């Protein structure tokens, strides 16, 4: 199982999303999970496609093609740029 | 300049601390720090660093005070509307601590300002282009860079000690070709105290860097004020980074 964390305002859009997903080791990526989310949660997937959205796996910022494994925690982080 | 009698009184709460003391206060007094952006982040950063006795502070912002700023930009007063932010800020900060030398630059950040011998730069801007200019200049000059941002209920902090670490910079985390996100403070709003929290985190990080206590090069911290949650993450060098990647060396 891979645990999903939607940080900040993404949590509001992901209220209906199951926070655990089953994937084949090494086959799933953050990008693939975003595409899977788009099938049922279009507004969330649209927000995840915004520029500067970051993903972390086990508290390490990674690229969207990072292979995921059983037990990983995948976090989606919305862009924050204002000052 | 050595600490004088007034300094011993003013900074007594620092001097009481074993891990700051007279030596630490002297380090703060000898430091030159540039604050880029005097909005919701820059105001608390400037207030705390000037109050702490950082000896020389540069302020850089081309904007004028607008009534919509007053909800969160705590250096300004209603009568300041229409005036340059750097001018109002300089006046308020000099009243707070006349022992600090303050320089004001009423223009967007540029390489000339960044090359003026600062020991550390604080990024309180609201756009990626400015962050990239600051990141590249700090990396080239081997000076620390403390960056923060906020929108809505959320904040982000990341700092780089380029004097000690030559791999991993801001461009490794946020692709330099990225477009600006749709959501910003002007179109989506921001909670004032969230900026105060992130600005206070920046000021604390600056003091840690100046005193030699900072060991979290490139670690990103996120804050969600709506839910009261914090998240810290490590970042890694992008080998293709145009600033610090293998191709740039």
In A, which residues are within 8 Å of B126 by CB distance?
A: 81-83
Average pLDDT estimate for B163-173: 93
- Average pLDDT value for residue range A17-34: 87
Res. B182 pLDDT band, cuts 50 70 90? confident
Query: Phi/psi zone of residue B180: left (φ > 0), alpha (ψ -120 to 50 degrees), beta?
Result: beta
Per DSSP, the residues of B146-208 read EEEEEEBTEEEEEEE-TTT--S--HHHHS-TTPPPPS--HHHH-B-HHHHHHHHHHHHHHHHH
Q: Residue B181 — very low, low, confident or very high, per pLDDT cuts 50/70/90?
A: confident
Residue B137 pLDDT level (bands cut at 50, 70, 90): very high
| Domain presence at residue A13 | yes
Residues of B forming the active site: 185
Chain A CB within 8 Å of residue B126 CB: yes
Residue A70 lies in a domain: yes
Q: Which of residues 130-159 of B touch A (CB under 8 A)?
A: 148-156
Q: Looking at the domain B15-248, which fold is it? A: Rossmann fold (3.40.50)
CATH number at residue A60: 3.10.20.30
Q: Give the pLDDT confidence of B53-88 residue by residue, as tens digits.
A: 999 999 999 999 999 999 999 999 999 999 999 999
Out of A51, A61, A82, closest to residue B151 by CB = A82
The residue in chain B having the minimum alpha-carbon distance to the alpha carbon of residue A82 is B126
Q: Is residue A82 part of a domain?
A: no
Mean pLDDT of B166-187: 83
In this complex, the residue of A52, A61, A75 whose CB is nearest that of residue B181 is A52
Residue B132 DSSP SS3: helix
- Indicate the pLDDT class of residue B248, thresholds 50, 70 and 90: low
Tell me the domain boundaries of chain B: 15-248
pLDDT for residue B187: 82
Residue B249 has pLDDT above 60, yes or no: no
* Domains identified in chain A, total number: 1
Question: Average model confidence (pLDDT) for chain A?
Answer: 92
* Cross-chain residue pair A80–B156, CB shorter than 8 Å: yes
Task: Examine residue A57 and state whether it is found in any structural domain, yes or no.
Answer: yes
Domain range spanning residue A21?
A: 2-77
Please say if the pLDDT value at position B140 is more than 90.
yes
């Amino acid at each position: 199982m891979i645990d999903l964390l939607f940080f900040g305002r993404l949590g509001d859009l992901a209220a209906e999303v199951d926070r655990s997903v089953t994937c084949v080791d090494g086959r799933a990526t953050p990008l693939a999970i975003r595409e899977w989310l788009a099938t049922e949660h279009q507004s969330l997937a649209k927000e995840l496609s915004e520029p500067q959205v970051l993903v972390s796996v086990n508290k390490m910022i990674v690229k969207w093609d990072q292979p995921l494994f059983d037990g990983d925690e995948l976090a989606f982080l919305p862009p924050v740029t204002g000052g | 300049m050595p600490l004088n009698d007034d300094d011993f009184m003013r900074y007594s709460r620092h001097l009481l601390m074993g891990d700051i003391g007279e030596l630490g206060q002297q380090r703060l007094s000898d430091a030159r720090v540039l604050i880029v952006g005097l909005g919701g982040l820059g105001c608390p950063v400037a207030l705390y660093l000037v109050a702490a006795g950082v000896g020389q502070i540069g302020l850089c912002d081309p904007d004028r005070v607008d009534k919509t700023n007053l909800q969160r930009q705590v250096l300004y007063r209603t009568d300041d509307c229409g005036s340059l932010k750097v001018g109002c800020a300089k006046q308020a900060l000099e009243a707070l601590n006349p022992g600090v030398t303050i320089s004001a630059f009423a223009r967007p950040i540029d390489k000339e300002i960044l090359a003026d011998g600062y020991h550390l730069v604080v990024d309180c801007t609201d756009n990626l282009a400015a962050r990239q200019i600051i990141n590249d200049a700090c990396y080239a000059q081997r000076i620390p860079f403390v960056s923060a941002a906020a929108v809505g209920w959320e904040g982000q902090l990341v700092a780089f000690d380029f004097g000690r670490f030559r791999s991993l910079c801001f461009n490794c985390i946020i692709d330099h070709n990225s477009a600006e996100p749709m959501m910003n403070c002007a179109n989506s709003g921001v909670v004032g105290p969230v900026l105060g929290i992130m600005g206070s985190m920046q000021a604390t990080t600056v003091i840690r860097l100046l005193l030699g206590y900072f060991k979290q090069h490139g670690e990103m911290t996120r804050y969600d004020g709506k839910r009261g949650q914090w998240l810290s993450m490590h970042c890694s060098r992008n080998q293709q980074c145009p600033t610090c990647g293998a191709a740039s060396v």
